[in-house]
Amino acid sequence: MKPTIQQIADLAGVSRGTVDRALHNRGRVDPKVAGRIFEIAESLNYIPPRRPKRASRKIRIGFVTFLSERVFSGEINKGIEQAKEELAQWGIEILIEKCVSISEIDQLNAINNLVDKGIQGLALMPVDSELIRSRLNELSNQLDIPTVTFNTDIVGTKRICFIGMDNKKSGRVAAGLMGMLTSGTGSILIITGSFANNAYSQRVDGFIEELKAAYPSIKIAGVQCAFDNMTELESILESTFLNSSGISGILITSSGQDGVETAFQKLNLNKRPFVIFYDMTPCTAKALQDNIADFVIEQDCFSQGYNAAYALANILVKKQYPPQEFLYTDIEIKTKYNI
pLDDT at 22: 81
pLDDT at 123: 98
pLDDT at 4: 83
Pick from 154, 86, 156: nearest CA to 123? 154
Cα angle at 281 between 280 and 284, to 5 degrees?
Answer: 75
pLDDT at 150: 97
Please give the model's pTM, rounded to 2 decimal places: 0.80
Q: Rg (Cα) of the chain, in Å, rounded?
A: 22
- Burial track 175-194 (b if 16+ CB lie within 10 A, e otherwise): bbbbbebbeeebbbbbbbbb
pLDDT digits (tens, 9 = 90+) for 101-110: 889 999 999 9
pLDDT along the chain (339 residues), means of 10: 81 85 73 83 76 66 88 86 94 95 94 97 96 96 96 96 98 98 97 90 97 97 94 96 93 93 93 96 94 96 95 95 95 96
Helix %, strand %, coil % for the chain, to 5? 45, 20, 35
pLDDT at 56: 54
